[in-house]
Amino acid sequence: MDNFETININNKLSDNIIDVNNNCDILAVDVKDIVFEYKRDVKVLNNLSLQIPKGKISALLGPNGTGKTTLIQTILGLHRPTSGSIHVFGVKPGLKESDIPGPGVGYMPQELALFEEFTINEILNYYGMIYHMNREEVMNRIENLRELLHLPEKSRLISQLSGGQKRRVSIAITMLHKPRLVILDEPTVGVDSLLRHKIWQYLEHMCKTDGQTVLITTHYIEEARSAGNVAFMSAGTILKQSEPNELMAEYECPTLEDVYYKLCINRRNSQHKLHELKPENTSNKEIKPKPVIKPQAKPFIDFQRVLALLWKYYTLTMRRPFFLYVYFLLPLIVLTCVRYAIGHTPRHVPIVVHNGEMDAPNSELSRQYIEAIDKEYVQIHEVRDFDDAYKSVVNGTNSLMISLSHNFTAQFETRMLDYLTLDEVELDESKIKLYVDFTNPAITVYVLKFIKYALNTMLEQNTYRFGENSVRFMHTLDIKEPVYGTYDFSLANQFGPGVLLGICHILPMIIAGLQIINDRKNNCLERIKCAGIKPIEIYLAHLLQNILLIAIQMLFTMFIAFVIYENEQKGSYFEVYLVLFFTGIQGMGFGLLTGLLLDSEPTFLVSICIKLNQYG
């Protein structure tokens, strides 16, 4: 075991690393000395170097927590290394010249990353749209992959499949567009040994026929014997990389699992020694890879992919329509509650009248005044005792108290005919005194209107008694027609505009925010990013979807408010629609922005409540 080699952990592997500039026709992936840190001084990848030859299956082996997934995500351009370099087909991933992330790679994450509400046919067509495949090409590929992977009927929902069937669908998505580089993270978990063998056969056929390159991670270490190249990974670095048979011969082990065990033991015992990794000799290739085709220039926004996202949102909405029902039925419920709880004209509002002339022989004017109050809208309780009447208002039994003195008729007549002879006491006795509960100002103001109308009626009935001039001179305040609104008080018209604006602002805010948070939490997001979809395209699809929903919801809400419930509207309906529409756009914008900044539904809803509380 004297010649047992370990990887150089802390220094560059420079002598035997193939130069990417001179060997881009040999290597599919060339990783040199990369370091990646999630937190400062916590290295997930530590001076890691790896070479993946073109046209072969390469297996990345190692237990959970060694950094395999982070390495894959870095190769895909989803993470930027702290130091070191990565070239995929001679180009750094993420550059304009690279098709990775994008159609140049097919990535299958360890999580299934499927939309449960889609059928098999729908999810494959969705990714076909993302990859700009025409319908005929997608259908042909679906039939080929169904035969290869033993997929169920195309019309079956993903949610109805078993775990193994879902994994096969996930593999089909990865292979759909025949990418140059295929990355499979634990693809054979949950599938039977016969299908596992068939998948490996297909991967080998794919490499030989089409010159595709496959990088696969698996915890079935012996399964990796079928790979053309194996890399053992531990603690964020590569222990050894070579062909499986060469590794077993070099370390005199019957299995790759024994090789990995020896490498781990040797690493622990020899971390202080510096050795050079001898990579596989890739100069003699059986496969003549196809020449690298320079990808076309990428548009800033790919509207084909935006269309695919919109189709996805439409399909998901139709399959889980709860939020759609809430979005359109909530305005109906709120407006109905406003209409029947506070929107109708109040009737029989209880008031109390303290009539000091109840037992007096001369009570003509007080009786006329009380009779003139409209009994349809006001319910009168007449009492003799002032204190009892006042307490009924204090206790909330009545909304308002009218007090008429024991000598009201005589003093009011004197006031009208010979007011110059009145002293202070007589003047006070001629007044109609109101004691008002203003805790409900809308109802109180509404009742005061009928109190005023009753006084006018009483004066008109006594024109012959007081003279026309006296009655006319009593009205020194002449209220003309209102500029806006009407004197006929309506709670529905009073609260309606605020309710409409609130609905149109709050609902788009909540729905848009929850959608973007759900998209971010969905493990499919990583997969579609690897397919080349940009964050701006996801955001644009959300904008377009929500703008369409807002436009329809505003029309529906206005139809309920103005057609069904006949709320008063004076002016242009188009202007009302624009105000409501842009109020909805403002709410949607705030919801999307908040959803991007926050990572959970409860936090988002709390922030919305705080914002709405500021309006209160």
Q: What is the pLDDT of residue 485?
A: 63
**pLDDT value of position 100:** 86
Selected residue with higher pLDDT from 282 and 397: 397
Tokens 């076309």, residue?
A: 296
Contact 441, 409 (CB under 8 A): no
The pTM (predicted TM-score) of the whole model is: 0.72
Does residue 483 have a pLDDT over 90?
Answer: no
Is the Cα dihedral 571, 573, 579, 583 positive or negative?
positive
Give one word for 202, left, alpha or beta, with left for phi > 0 and alpha for psi -120 to 50. Answer: alpha
- The predicted pLDDT at position 274 comes to 39
The model's pLDDT over 155-199, given as tens digits with 9 standing for 90+, comes to 999 999 988 888 889 989 999 999 999 999 888 776 777 777 878
Contacts of 171 (CB under 8 A, 6+ apart): 108, 149, 184, 187, 199
**Which pLDDT does position 2 carry in this prediction?**
38
Question: Chain-centre distance of CA 228, in angstroms?
Answer: 44
Q: What structural domains and CATH numbers belong to the chain?
A: 1-104+179-278 (3.40.50.300), 114-178 (no CATH), 311-339+490-615 (no CATH), 346-474 (3.40.1710.10)
Distance CA 232, CA 48 (A): 12
* Average pLDDT of every residue of the chain: 82
**Distances in whole angstroms, Cα of residue 404 to Cα of each of 10, 261, 348, 424:** 100, 104, 21, 16
Task: Please give the share of the chain, as a percent, with pLDDT higher than 70.
Answer: 87
Angle ∠(555,311,580) on CA atoms, nearest 5: 20
Place of tokens 């035997």: 16
Half-sphere CA count of 67, side-chain side, radius 13 A:
27
Sort strands 42-53 and 27-39 into parallel, antiparallel or unpaired: antiparallel
pLDDT digits (tens, 9 = 90+) for 227-257: 889 998 888 888 889 898 888 888 888 888 8
Count helices and strands in the chain by DSSP H and E runs: 22, 13
Which two structure tokens, joined as six digits, stand for 535? 């964050």
- In what order do the strands lie in the sheet containing 237-242? 105-108, 181-185, 213-217, 57-61, 229-234, 237-242
3-state secondary structure (DSSP) of residue 49: strand
pLDDT tens digit string along 76-135? 988 889 889 999 998 898 888 888 888 999 999 888 789 889 999 999 999 999 999 999
| E runs forming strands in 427-505 | 433-436
Q: Which residue type is seen at 525?
A: L
